[in-house]
C-alpha cells in the first residue's frame, strides 16, 4: 500500500516596507526559490506594510508549513514577531519556524561580489570596506553581524573591514569610517548588509554621498540567497517530519 507523501509548504516571510522596492526584491527571491525547487509550494508573506500577511498565508495553507524568514539577523522580528503571529494564527496544520539566514558564507560571498562590481580589485591593498547593517538593541545579535566584516576579507588583499549600524548612523558610521581611514584605507567602499533597497539603505547612501565614498548594491535576489533560504527550510522540514 502506497503511503501519501506529506508536502511541506515553504512560507518565505519578509519584514515588509513602505518602499515598494523591498517587496519587489522579496518576490524576486521567492521566484528564485521556486525556480530552484519547481515542485515545492512556495508562498510569500510579509510581517508588516506589505501583503499578504503571514496570518493570511498560513490560513490558506492546507498541510504542514515551514515559515522561513527572509531576514539576516536573529533579532526581534525573528524571535518575537514571527512566533507570536504563528501562535495567533488558527491553523490545524503543523507550522515550524526556520532559522534566519544569518552570516552564511554564501551571503558573504555575494556581498564581496557586490563590492567588486564597483571595479574594486580583490588585490587592491588600499581598499577598506565598511559593512553597514541595520543593527538592533541586542548587542549579542550585533556581535554576530560583526562577523561578516572579517569574513569579507577572505581571499582579498584589502586593507581592512569594519562594521557599522545604520540605526546609529550619525555616530556608528562616522566612527567606522574613521577607523578605516586610520588603517590607511585610501579607498573606502560601503558594503550594505541588506537584502534589498529601501528607506534605511537610502539613508546610508546619503551618508556615502556626503562622505564622498562609494556604496555597493545590496545582496538582492541572488541565486545564493535563494539557496540559503532553501537550506534553512530543508533542515527545519526534516526536523518537522522526524518529530
pLDDT of 241: 76
- Please state whether the predicted TM-score (pTM) of the whole model is above 0.85: yes
pLDDT of 243: 65
Task: Find the radius of gyration of the CA atoms of the chain.
Answer: 19
- Residue pair 72/193 in contact by the 8 Å Cβ criterion: yes
Order of all β-strands in the sheet with 160-165: 160-165, 127-133, 187-192, 214-215
Half-sphere exposure (Cβ direction) of 5: Cα atoms closer than 13 Å: 5
All residues at 6 or more sequence positions from 147 whose CB lies less than 8 Å from its CB, including other chains = 103
pLDDT of 168: 72
Nearest to 183 by CA among 116, 146, 129: 129
User: 93-118: per-residue pLDDT in tens?
Assistant: 689 999 999 999 999 999 999 999 99
Within 117-161, residue ranges assigned H as helices are: 139-145, 148-152
User: 200-242: per-residue pLDDT in tens?
Assistant: 999 999 999 999 999 999 999 999 999 999 999 999 999 887 7
Cis peptide before 52 (omega within 30 of 0): yes
Within the chain, residue ranges assigned H as helices are: 20-36, 54-60, 76, 82-88, 105-116, 139-145, 148-152, 169-182, 199-211, 223-242
CA–CA distances in Å: residue 5 to residues 41, 64, 97, 177: 14, 12, 21, 54
- Domains of the chain are 9-102+222-242 (3.40.50.1400), 105-211 (3.40.50.1400)
pLDDT of 242: 74
- Residue pair 222/111 in contact by the 8 Å Cβ criterion: no
All residues at 6 or more sequence positions from 1 whose CB lies less than 8 Å from its CB, including other chains = none
Low-confidence spans in the chain with pLDDT less than 70: 1-7, 90-93, 169-171, 243
For the chain, give the percent of residues with pLDDT over 70.
94
Nearest to 19 by CA among 195, 197, 208, 194: 197
Amino acid at each position: 500500500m502506497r503511503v501519501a507523501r506529506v508536502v511541506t509548504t515553504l512560507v518565505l516571510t519578509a519584514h515588509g516596507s513602505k518602499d515598494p522596492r523591498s517587496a519587489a526584491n522579496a518576490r524576486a527571491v521567492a521566484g528564485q526559490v521556486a525556480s530552484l525547487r519547481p515542485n515545492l509550494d512556495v508562498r510569500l508573506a510579509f510581517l508588516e506594510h506589505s501583503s499578504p500577511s503571514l496570518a493570511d498565508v498560513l490560513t490558506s495553507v492546507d498541510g504542514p508549513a515551514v515559515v522561513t524568514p527572509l531576514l539576516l539577523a536573529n533579532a526581534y522580528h525573528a524571535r518575537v514577531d514571527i512566533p507570536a503571529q504563528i501562535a495567533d494564527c488558527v491553523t490545524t496544520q503543523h507550522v515550524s519556524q526556520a532559522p534566519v539566514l544569518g552570516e552564511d558564507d554564501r551571503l558573504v560571498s555575494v556581498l564581496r561580489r557586490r563590492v567588486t562590481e564597483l571595479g574594486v580589485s580583490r588585490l587592491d591593498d588600499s581598499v577598506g570596506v565598511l559593512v553597514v547593517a541595520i543593527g538592533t538593541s541586542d548587542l549579542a545579535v550585533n556581535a554576530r553581524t560583526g562577523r561578516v566584516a572579517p569574513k569579507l576579507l577572505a581571499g582579498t588583499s584589502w586593507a581592512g573591514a569594519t562594521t557599522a549600524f545604520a540605526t546609529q548612523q550619525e555616530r556608528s558610521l562616522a566612527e567606522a569610517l574613521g577607523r578605516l581611514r586610520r588603517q590607511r584605507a585610501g579607498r573606502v567602499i560601503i558594503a550594505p548588509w541588506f537584502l534589498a533597497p529601501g528607506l534605511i539603505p537610502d539613508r546610508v547612501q546619503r551618508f556615502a554621498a556626503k562622505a564622498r565614498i562609494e556604496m555597493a548594491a545590496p545582496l538582492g535576489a541572488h541565486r545564493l540567497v535563494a539557496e540559503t533560504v532553501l537550506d534553512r527550510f530543508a533542515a527545519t522540514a526534516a526536523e518537522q517530519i522526524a518529530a
